[in-house]
Structures are given as C-alpha cells and as structure tokens.
Amino acid sequence: MEWIRLLLELLAGICGVFLIVSMLYQIAVGFFGFGKSDKGYADHDPQSRFLVLVPAHNEEKVIGDIIRNLDSMDYPRELYDFYIIADNCTDGTAEAARSLGARVIETRKESPDAPTGKPIALKKALEQINYRDQYDLMMIFDADNLIDTNMFREVNSQYLDCGKPEFIQCYLGAKNKEGIVAWFYYTGYTLSNRFFNLAKTRKGLNCAIGGTGFAVSTSYLYQRGGWSTMSLTEDYELQVEATLEGRRILWNHYTRVYDEKPTRLTAAIRQRIRWGQGHWHVTLKNTGNLFRSFRAGQISFWEFLSLGTYMYSVAATPVALLQLLLTVMLCLITPGRRFFDPSLTGVLSSVVLISYSYFFLFYLADWMDNGIPFRFRTLPLMVGGFFANAIVGFFNQVVGLLRCRDQQHWVKTEHAISAETVPVVRRRAA
C-alpha cells in the first residue's frame, strides 16, 4: 500500500509542477505586453503583390460584405487579387459573389464520403492558381470577416522592413461582443492579442497563427508543396510545423481583422471541441519533432519553451482533473489526510491570480488597444464569461482529446448576427 501512496504522490506532484510552470511562464510572458506598442517597422510604398483567398461554405448572406470590403482597400488594385472559394455550396454563394464582380473558384467533393473543410478547399484552390510567380504574399480571410482598409499597406511595410518573414499575423478583433458567450471570446482575444502575441513578438518569439487575417510568403508555401495542412486546426498545424523549421511568425498590432464570435453556448462548445480535436492531434503528432528540432539547433531554448507550453496548454483541464482524482485517492488511502487545506493561502492565491490574469489584464488591454475604460457594469459579464469559458474549456480539452483521431469531420459555425454590423474602417498607426 505504501508504494501505491508514493506513486500517487509522485503523479500528483508532476501534475502540480506542470500547472505551476505553465502558469508562471504565461505570467512572465505577459509582462512584455505592458507599455506603448511601437510598430517596429518603417512605412514602405506599396510593392508586395497579394493573393487573397476567402473560403466560403453556404455564405450567401454575408459574402457581399467582405467582397465590398476587399474592393475598397487602401492599396493599389493592380497589386492584389482575391478569390471567393465556394466550397461545396448548396446556396447562392457563388452567384452572389460573381454578381458583385468577384472571382470565384468552386470546389466539390469527389464522393459523398470524401472529407470536406477549409484546408481541402484551400488546397484545391491553390492548385488552380499560379501563386508562386504572380504573388509575394497570400492572405486568408473567413467569409464573415471584415478587415481594416490599411491592412495590405501595413503588412507590406512590415514584410519589406523585417527581412521578408514567412508569416505575419494581424490583430484579431471582434465584430460582436454582446452576451456572455461572445463576451468571453472578446475578452480572450483582447487578452491574447496584447499579452501573448504582442508580448512574444517583442521578445523575438513566434506568435500564434489565428486562422484568419494572416499573411504567408508564397515562396515558403511553394516549398511546402502548396496547402498541405489537413487537420481541423490547419492554422495551428501550420504554426507548429513552420516554427519547428525555424521560420518566423511576426505579429502586427496596427491593423485588424474582425471576426464574428458565437453567441450561443452550444455553438461555442461545438467550435471549441473541433479546435480541441485539431490541437490535440497536432500536439501529439509533433511532440517528438519539438525535441528533435531543439536538439538539432533549429529552434532556440526559448522558442522550445514557448512552443512547448503553447502546444500543451490544451492539457490544463485534463491535468487538473487528474490531479483532483489523485488527491481524492490519496485522501481515501491515507488516514488523517485532509482534502481541503484549512488555511486560506491557496484560496487567496487563486483569487489574486484570477483577478490579475483575467480581470486586470483584460481591462488594461481593452483600454490600451480599444480605448475602452473600465466600467463596473461589465463585471457581471466578466464573471459570467469566466464560468462560460471554464465550461467550454472543459469540452475543448477533454472531449477534444477523446476525439483527436477524427480529423475528417468539419462542422461549420453558423452565423448569428446580421451583416454589415461593423463598418469598414481605415486604421492608421499612431
């Protein structure tokens, strides 16, 4: 019995160390998000040629917004082309896009059982475009997105001034934030934009690729053999593989893409489970590659630590649940052991940590980046969003792990807000 107790103690200790190290690392990285954000690159005249792809599955109701948005960009029209990828549409997406003068590529399944989804649509579209010779950068947007009209100018300047990096991810904004579910998406992205992505770029580390509003070098894409990432989180898969190769992923804090956030808890759970499935699949597939890239000198120790903690951030809930189970078992087999610490140290530490990392950092980021000051009336939303995030996080991490072998079934997140919610803006860096 003693060896069982020692084993349980060891496993509980490992879980505790994992959670503490992950937490301390994220807090440490977040410190570099404080302070005024300087661009870090000089303005350049338009030079880069852009290919823009917009995958769209049954998006007839919203496709007109992004077409009009792309037609009004503050960038020479001869330096960018955009295509709407009407992927297995059963509505009038393709016809609506063509009626507005957009170029359309229609993709279809080869058989009823063939896999579908954004990665496959991108792969098929690129096979029809001579992207290597005609363009310098490719950007991808979702059909429900709106984008700042200065985006191509800012990405062009950063690309030319920073040695032509393989990737540039732009600020991920929100079209909507009403309601508890949309609010917790808004708070999460607002936090990560400044205290994760901007902070990492300031320290010379790769930021995350967010799935929309990012630019990739067409020369790098051609070296990869076109669009080759096929998981349910193709953006995360691309980020991991590129980082392990020693490629650069820069963050642009001065131009934004606005994405529609789910408004219903069920829709958020479905979306996050899909993200969890893809995240776990890519993480488990590339854990060995992470260590091999570090040993081979392709990535630094800090990039190794940065990517490793991000890869296994999805393990937080399963590890916490495992630690809880181990603690219960130890209480059952150890006479006199208490489940709860009678002191208030643990409780107070948790309250301080949550208050700092969730409430304080969000309100600071919202004020610094969006010009929105703290308001007491948002506190109930913050509390509700915190618990909604906990519920969705459980399904994302635990159910995603159980389903991670399935990377073929893609479920679309339906729109819940009307079109033209956010006006197209012309954002200029301060």
DSSP state letters, 46-102: S---EEEEEEESS-TTTHHHHHHHHHT-SS-GGGEEEEEEEES-SSSHHHHHHHTT-
Helix 234-244 vs helix 301-311: crossing angle, to nearest 10: 160
231 to 56, 131, 302: CA distances (angstroms): 18, 23, 26
**Type and span of the H or E element at 146:** strand 146-147
Place 408 in a pLDDT band, splitting at 50, 70 and 90: confident
Residue 262 is classified by DSSP as P
pLDDT tens digit sequence for 241-271: 999 999 999 999 999 999 999 889 888 888 8
Lowest mean pLDDT, pick from 137-141, 180-184, 305-309, 348-352:
348-352
The pLDDT of residue 416 is 60
Integer Cα distance of 430 and 425 in angstroms: 15
Integer Cα distance of 46 and 157 in angstroms: 8
Please, are residues 137 and 165 in contact by the beta-carbon 8 Å criterion?
A: no
- Asked if residue 404 has pLDDT above 80, the reply is yes
- 3-state SS class at 422: coil
Query: What residue type is assigned to position 178 of the chain?
Result: E
103-107 vs 80-87, strand pairing mode = parallel
Q: Which residues pair with 174 in a beta bridge?
A: 259
The pLDDT of residue 390 is 83
- 117: nearest Cα among 422, 411, 423: 411
pLDDT tens digit sequence for 349-398: 667 888 898 899 999 999 999 999 999 999 999 999 888 888 888 888 88
The pLDDT of residue 106 is 93
Percentage of the chain beyond pLDDT 90 is 62
Integer Cα distance of 261 and 178 in angstroms: 10
The pLDDT of residue 345 is 54
249-259 vs 167-174, strand pairing mode = parallel
**Type and span of the H or E element at 214:** strand 214-217
User: Position of tokens 């109701």?
Assistant: 61
Integer Cα distance of 258 and 264 in angstroms: 19
The pLDDT of residue 421 is 43
Please, are residues 257 and 213 in contact by the beta-carbon 8 Å criterion?
A: yes
Helix 118-126 vs helix 234-244: crossing angle, to nearest 10: 70
The pLDDT of residue 347 is 56
- List all residues 6 or more positions away from 126 whose beta carbon is below 8 Å from its beta carbon: 53, 221, 226, 227
Average pLDDT, the chain: 88
- Asked if residue 346 has pLDDT above 60, the reply is no
Integer Cα distance of 332 and 349 in angstroms: 26
- 103: nearest Cα among 119, 83, 131: 83
Please, are residues 44 and 209 in contact by the beta-carbon 8 Å criterion?
A: no
- Asked if residue 73 has pLDDT above 60, the reply is yes
- 360: nearest Cα among 104, 14, 27: 27
Q: Which residues pair with 106 in a beta bridge?
A: 86
The pLDDT of residue 333 is 77
Place 334 in a pLDDT band, splitting at 50, 70 and 90: confident
How many CA atoms does the CB half-sphere of 392 hold within 13 Å? Answer: 25
- List all residues 6 or more positions away from 24 whose beta carbon is below 8 Å from its beta carbon: none
Please, are residues 79 and 50 in contact by the beta-carbon 8 Å criterion?
A: yes
Residue 378 is classified by DSSP as G
Residue 224 is classified by DSSP as T
The pLDDT of residue 58 is 92
Query: What residue type is assigned to position 100 of the chain?
Result: L
Integer Cα distance of 208 and 166 in angstroms: 13
Q: How far apart are the first and last CA of the chain?
A: 66
The pLDDT of residue 337 is 61
Helix 379-394 vs helix 316-333: crossing angle, to nearest 10: 80
Describe the strand order of the beta sheet including 167-174 as a list of residue ranges: 103-107, 80-87, 50-56, 137-140, 214-217, 167-174, 249-259, 146-147
Query: What is the pLDDT averaged over residues 283-310?
Result: 96
Q: What is the pTM of this model?
A: 0.89
The pLDDT of residue 7 is 84
Place 149 in a pLDDT band, splitting at 50, 70 and 90: very high
- 3-state SS class at 333: helix
The pLDDT of residue 428 is 43
Integer Cα distance of 410 and 109 in angstroms: 13
